[in-house]
Amino acid sequence: DTGVSQDPRHKITKRGQNVTFRCDPISEHNRLYWYRQTLGQGPEFLTYFQNEAQLEKSRLLSDRFSAERPKGSFSTLEIQRTEQGDSAMYLCASSRTGLSQETQYFGPGTRLLVL
Amino acid sequence: AQSVTQLGSHVSVSEGALVLLRCNYSSSVPPYLFWYVQYPNQGLQLLLKYTTGATLVKGINGFEAEFKKSETSFHLTKPSAHMSDAAEYFCAVSEIAEYGNKLVFGAGTILRVKS
């Protein structure tokens, strides 16, 4: 299997602009997760998809954040009206159901800097 | 609610010395436990995981961890450190839920290996 890929790897934007990130999971992985990692911290869960259905969202995911997985394959995470506090690494992970020992495989992340 | 505590944000060892990274968790149900490693500006790579069965788990690159239920611990060890082990290590816990198994991470431990 090819791994989880994320695009772009780095994004610099000005406060107030909208940004969109893409995640391509491992093929045949039906679960997809988004996490956010700020400097010096561990990743924090943002949201989760099973196939195309978004089944859980963290309270960290404000109204400015939206995620989609339209065909149950790749996913996008959009941040509207970015704020400096949105600066972080955004990580995507995928896994496959049917296995009791579900393992999440992470992509390389998208590092966002909001000026 | 689940939580993970990693004792020591920074650990420094000499090359060839024992590596011990500490992780304690809290969970209301039997947990699944994971150790991930993160190199600078990269995503997370799975080192090892505990689900059920044998409490001593062996992972990649010579690492192993032991699940101790009575101590709610899952410490990571490696008998002999190598320079390439220098990275940040994250312990994580998940609960099996009907809709996805989100991970809860500790704050991470940065391992430094001295020559």
Residue-wise pLDDT for B36-87, tens only, equals 999 987 889 999 999 888 889 999 999 999 999 999 999 999 999 999 999 9
**Residue A1: pLDDT above 60?**
no
Q: Is B95 helix (H, G, I), strand (E, B) or coil?
A: coil
Question: Does the CB of B7 have a partner CB in chain A at under 8 Å?
Answer: no
Of B35, B21, B28, B32, nearest to B93 by C-alpha is: B32
Please give, rounded to a whole number of angstroms, the shortest distance from the CA of B83 to a CA of chain A: 22
- Asked if A43 and B41 come within 8 Å (Cβ–Cβ), the reply is no
What secondary structure letter does DSSP report for B97? B
Residue partners of A14: CB distance under 8 A and separation at least 6: A82, A114, A115
Please give, rounded to a whole number of angstroms, the shortest distance from the CA of B101 to a CA of chain A: 8
Cβ contacts (< 8 Å) between B96 and chain A: which residues?
A: 100, 102
Question: Does the CB of B104 have a partner CB in chain A at under 8 Å?
Answer: yes
What's the pLDDT score for residue A99? 61
Arithmetic mean of pLDDT over chain A = 92
B115 vs B34: CA distance, rounded Å: 28
CA A15, A20, A26, A30 torsion-angle sign: positive
Mean pLDDT of A75-103: 89
A30 vs A112: CA distance, rounded Å: 26
**Residue B98: pLDDT above 70?**
no
What's the pLDDT score for residue B99? 63
Please give, rounded to a whole number of angstroms, the shortest distance from the CA of A18 to a CA of chain B: 23
What's the pLDDT score for residue A35? 96
Mean pLDDT of B14-36: 92
What's the pLDDT score for residue A102? 76
Tell me the percentage of chain A whose pLDDT exceeds 90: 79
Nearest chain A residue to B48 by CA: give it. Answer: A103
Question: Does the CB of B96 have a partner CB in chain A at under 8 Å?
Answer: yes
Cβ-nearest to B103 among A4, A41, A104: A104
What's the pLDDT score for residue B96? 64
The model's pLDDT over B67-76, given as tens digits with 9 standing for 90+, comes to 999 999 999 9
Distances (CA, A) of B15 to A8, A64, A88, B79: 36, 47, 32, 11
Backbone angles phi, psi at A86, to 5 degrees: -80, -10
- Asked if B36 and A45 come within 8 Å (Cβ–Cβ), the reply is no
**Residue A101: pLDDT above 80?**
no
